[in-house]
């Protein structure tokens, strides 16, 4: 399974280094020297990481064959994609790969169905679930412990305890999982960002 682990940012200096927006909680594993990564667009890669270091709180990478600022700038906005065993799980039990969370049903603690996770949005401050409801509207659910109280992968659901106003409790909401099961589920496309974990504060 292919998962996005980083996005290349701007060039740093004149020797081919680039800043990267990390999209994995395991950068030491996925973005270490010697790692070979596929890319999106595919024409930019594959790329082999030669060196990596942290500068002013941001990860800097240099790829084999990229030796100047022009070469680094040419990679800007390229997505870096790692091959991951779909059965792998993060070491921390409170962390999840994005592909584990995609398509989970979202329900309230009393069982009221809210919708289904269609996207994970990784923001600097926290991660968000993009949840599609039966009427086609979307609601954003912060992935923090105070709101997402349980992730049950066996039952394929996320249980939430939202604060007032986060979702429209008056809307008639229904899960579409059964309908999809009847028509045949489709596989997730490659290119998901990787690790997601519940933060401590909203």
Report the 3 state secondary structure along 182-193. Answer: HHCCCCCCCCEE
Cβ pair 148, 139 in contact under 8 A: no
Cβ pair 137, 146 in contact under 8 A: no
- Mean per-residue pLDDT, 82-103: 71
- Mean per-residue pLDDT, 160-168: 86
- Length of the chain in terms of residues written: 202
For strand 105-108 and strand 157-160, is the pairing parallel, antiparallel, or unpaired? Answer: parallel
Phi, psi of 178 (to 5 degrees): -60, -40
Could you tell me the two tokens for 129?
A: 């679930």
The Cα–Cα gap between 61 and 96 comes to: 25
Burial of 158 from C-beta contacts in 10 A (0-12 / 13-18 / 19+): buried
Q: How many helices (H) and strands (E) does the chain have?
A: 4, 15
Cβ pair 4, 195 in contact under 8 A: no
Could you tell me the two tokens for 151?
A: 């992730």
Cβ pair 117, 104 in contact under 8 A: yes
3-state secondary structure (DSSP) of residue 126: coil
pLDDT at 195: 59
**Range with lowest mean pLDDT among 61-70, 97-106, 117-126, 166-175:** 166-175
Could you tell me the two tokens for 23?
A: 């999209």
Q: Among candidates 16, 10, 5, which has minimal Cα distance to 191? A: 5
The Cα–Cα gap between 156 and 125 comes to: 26
pLDDT at 190: 40
**Does 167 score more than 90 pLDDT?**
no
pLDDT at 124: 66
- Mean per-residue pLDDT, 5-12: 91
**Does 156 score more than 50 pLDDT?**
yes
């Amino acid at each position: 399974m292919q998962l996005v682990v980083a996005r290349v940012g701007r060039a740093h200096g004149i020797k081919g280094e680039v800043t990267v927006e990390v999209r994995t909680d395991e950068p030491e594993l996925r973005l270490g020297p010697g790692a070979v990564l596929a890319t999106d667009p595919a024409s930019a890669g594959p790329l082999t990481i030669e060196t990596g270091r942290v500068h002013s709180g941001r990860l800097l990478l240099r790829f084999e064959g990229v030796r100047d600022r022009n070469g680094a700038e040419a990679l800007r906005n390229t997505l870096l994609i790692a091959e991951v065993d779909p059965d792998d799980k993060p070491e921390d039990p409170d962390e999840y790969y994005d592909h584990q969370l995609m398509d989970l049903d979202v329900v309230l603690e009393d069982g009221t169905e809210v919708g289904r996770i269609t996207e994970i949005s990784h923001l600097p401050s926290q991660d968000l679930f993009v949840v599609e409801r039966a009427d086609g509207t979307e609601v954003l659910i912060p992935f923090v412990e105070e709101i997402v109280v349980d992730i049950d992968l066996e039952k394929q659901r996320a249980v939430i305890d939202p604060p007032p106003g986060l979702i429209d409790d008056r809307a008639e909401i229904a899960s579409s999982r059964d309908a999809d099961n009847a028509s045949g589920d489709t596989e997730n496309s490659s290119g998901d960002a990787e690790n997601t974990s519940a933060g401590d504060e909203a």
